[in-house]
Chain A
Amino acid sequence: MRHPIYTALAMLSCVYLGYANQHGWRMISQVSPFRWVSNGHGAYHK
């Protein structure tokens, strides 16, 4: 295999796309540092 890193990236991308699609993930903004909790009158940072 002449380009193992590139090949690994391509394979991982395929696996990740399938997994993300199955779980309704969005690649770009999936990881967020924030979690929100409702107080019934709008939201605030936890």
Chain B
Amino acid sequence: MVVRKDMNLETLGVMAELPPDLSPLQLGTRGEWNGKGFELLGRLRVEWDEGSWNEWYAHFSDGSCGWVAESQGFYMVSFEDKNARIPSSATSLGAGEYLDLGRDRWNVVDNKSVRCRAGEGELPFAAPPGSERQSVDFTSIDGSFASLEYSDNETSFYDGSYAKFKDLHFTNLRPVPGWSTDAPQIRHQTNALNCPNCGAVVNLRAQGQTMSAVCGSCGSIIDTSNPVWTLVQTSEQKVADLYPLLEIGSRGKLQDVDYEVIGFVKRSDSESTWHEYLLFNPWHGFEWLVCYSGHWSFVHRHPEISDRSGAAVEIKGRKYVRYAEYTAVVTGVLGEFYWKVKRGEEAMTTDYINPPRVLSKEYYRELNEFTWSLGKYVDSKETAAAFGKKALPPPTGPYLNEPNPYAERWRGVKTVALLFLVIFTVIQLVSSAFSRHHPLYKTDLVYSKDDPVKIISSPKFKIEGGPQLVDIRGTSNLSNSWLSIGVELVNAQTNEAIPDSIELEYYSGSDEDGRWSEVSNNVVVSIPGVKTGEYYLNIEPSADPALRMQAYRIEVTSGGVFWSNYFFGLFVVMIYPIYLLFRAGAFESRRWAESDFSMTGVRSS
């Protein structure tokens, strides 16, 4: 190893051998970050009680030096901030607490004791194997990353950002055995050891990235973070009693990335049980597939999310509403994991939802650590296809982040429906405004019981301007009687007739509820689509036998529009979106019936 003191290199000899891992990075790997090129010059393998990670020392094109931390597929680029004034109290902060540094407010993710395991290449300081220091990791509200490292001698503060593999534009990467086609090593040739409990062979699928593995024979959990494997937990549970739907070692492509199933966790809370599959890709790190009652979610951990709580939280402009709070307990494990998993391990979990997404906050009391993860619902058919399965059990019942199919469809028709509503209304209003009524005929008549004239024919009148609506209005001032007027609009040329009747009546009185009346003293009958031509009107009145004489008026007008057209069209076109809205509401009611919280994330009484 070489220690870099400004530009003077000092050889310190050979360090402890680095444990094998599947890191795609190597000394000499180049990359680019924020427009600056960099090259990896040295590496430290750092470990703590629950895991280990790589710290790559990088030289940047602007002459600065920084660190690219690589942990479980996450990358953090940071630089030492020698001007940061760190209060001495910062070293005693616990997970969830805050450190205020003027313009920045940092949230503590964890505070742990770490030690140097091994190193290689050029490093800015001597880091003998086993040397210990305390490390406090932070995130800020904007997703930045910082780390405070202190020992008896000195305190260093590093700040920077989280980065994704593709954001760092790496070149000159190391071929990864078992994944890269040009990797020289045959997979599993050197990464199988024997279970310290039963002696069975245990294969590691993500060597160097995982910290524990489960013996497929006896079910013991093994600490694999050191070359000498030790037992973490023996098991009375038979591994054969666990039935993962996706076998350990199977590979599938999700979101255009190949993943291998390397771990399986069965978790339970007081009411239910679900399964979690740990997926691994050497370049993209770890992801999770969570399965509950046939519902699948693809879950990505988000170390950059700072701690927050409440009825709702907002991440990157999306609001997530609190849905559930529970304690999840590990009840069964298979495969290998990036932490030292234990049966009985508890995580206080809060789920926030914005379907199809679910945001989960887990607090591990034993580790004094918060983790945040963001899941997105995956169709079970898509999961089956990704892993080459003919089928997976279909989902049953509503699930917290299951997409609301009716809301999806409503979103699909919403724009068209609202646009239709506006255009349809405008058409009706414009038609109504431009189609005025034209008087054609008006007459005042008297019904007489003794009048022998049965049918009265009007003079001829012309209807012009194309087919249109014709209204025939009858009015009278009846009192406790009725008058029925048969009307017949007759085309004078063709004798084609359109009959109708106007029923006039007026009744009133009083009973125990007070006065009442039934009034129809002004009635209009509308005849649609009357063609241009010369017409006359036949009028044939009949009345209550008790009515001897009654004056009434008949008026004929053309023009106007049927409002029934508007309401009928509205009904036909809007019934589907209204149905979708109704079903979407019912779906949400079923979803939230499973929650302890209201739809606003407030605890239900």
Q: Do residues A30 and B529 form an inter-chain contact, with CB atoms below 8 A?
A: yes
> CB-CB contacts of B571-588 with A at 8 A, as 1s and 0s?
011001000000000000
Residue of A13, A24, A42, A43 touching B420 (CB-CB under 8 A): A13
Contacts A10-B573, A26-B528, A38-B497 given; indicate if A21 touches B412 (C-beta within 8 A): no
Least CB distance, B497 to chain A, in whole angstroms: 4
CA distance A10 to B416 in the complex (A): 8
Best-buried of A13, A20, A21, A30 by chain B (most CB within 10 Å): A21
Contacts A21-B431, A24-B467, A38-B495 given; indicate if A16 touches B569 (C-beta within 8 A): yes
**A side interface size, CB within 8 A:** 30
Q: Do residues B416 and A3 form an inter-chain contact, with CB atoms below 8 A?
A: yes
Q: Do residues B565 and A10 form an inter-chain contact, with CB atoms below 8 A?
A: no
Least CB distance, A30 to chain B, in whole angstroms: 6
> CB-CB contacts of A1-35 with B at 8 A, as 1s and 0s?
01100110110011011101111111111100001
Q: Do residues B423 and A26 form an inter-chain contact, with CB atoms below 8 A?
A: no
CA distance A18 to B431 in the complex (A): 7
Residue of B455, B499, B529 touching A24 (CB-CB under 8 A): B529
Q: Do residues A27 and B431 form an inter-chain contact, with CB atoms below 8 A?
A: no
Hey, which chain A residues are within 8 Å of B526, CB to CB? 26
CA distance A39 to B417 in the complex (A): 49
Hey, which chain A residues are within 8 Å of B576, CB to CB? 6
B125: CB under 8 A from chain A?
no
Q: Do residues B565 and A29 form an inter-chain contact, with CB atoms below 8 A?
A: no
Residue of B424, B432, B498, B529 touching A13 (CB-CB under 8 A): B424
B315: CB under 8 A from chain A?
no
Best-buried of A16, A25, A38, A42 by chain B (most CB within 10 Å): A38
Hey, which chain B residues are within 8 Å of A36, CB to CB? 496-499
Least CB distance, B374 to chain A, in whole angstroms: 26
Q: Do residues B412 and A3 form an inter-chain contact, with CB atoms below 8 A?
A: yes
Which B residue sits closest to A6, measured CB to CB?
B413
CA distance A43 to B488 in the complex (A): 8
Contacts A6-B413, A26-B526 given; indicate if A43 touches B499 (C-beta within 8 A): yes
Residue of A18, A30, A38 touching B528 (CB-CB under 8 A): A30
CA distance A1 to B524 in the complex (A): 44
Least CB distance, A13 to chain B, in whole angstroms: 5
Interface residues of B in 414-456 (CB under 8 A from A): 416-417, 419-420, 423-424, 427-428, 431-432, 435, 455
B538: CB under 8 A from chain A?
yes
Q: Do residues B497 and A14 form an inter-chain contact, with CB atoms below 8 A?
A: no
Hey, which chain B residues are within 8 Å of A7, CB to CB? 416
Q: Do residues B427 and A17 form an inter-chain contact, with CB atoms below 8 A?
A: yes
Contacts A25-B562, A27-B569 given; indicate if A17 touches B528 (C-beta within 8 A): no
Give the A-binding residues of B (Cβ under 8 A): 409, 412-413, 416-417, 419-420, 423-424, 427-428, 431-432, 435, 455, 466-470, 486, 488, 490, 495-499, 526, 528-530, 538, 540, 558-562, 564-566, 568-569, 572-573, 576
* Minimum-distance CB pairs A-B, first 10: A24-B469, A21-B431, A38-B497, A24-B468, A26-B528, A10-B420, A2-B412, A21-B561, A23-B467, A43-B499
A-B contact pairs, 21 of them (CB 8 A): A6-B417, A13-B573, A14-B420, A14-B423, A14-B424, A16-B569, A17-B427, A17-B565, A21-B427, A21-B435, A21-B561, A21-B562, A22-B431, A23-B468, A24-B560, A25-B529, A25-B562, A27-B562, A38-B488, A40-B538, A43-B488
Give the B-binding residues of A (Cβ under 8 A): 2-3, 6-7, 9-10, 13-14, 16-18, 20-30, 35-38, 40-43
Contacts A13-B569, A13-B573, A24-B529 aside, 20 further interface pairs with beta carbons under 8 A come to A2-B412, A6-B576, A7-B416, A10-B417, A10-B419, A10-B573, A16-B569, A17-B427, A17-B428, A17-B565, A17-B569, A21-B562, A22-B435, A23-B467, A24-B561, A24-B562, A26-B564, A27-B568, A35-B496, A38-B538
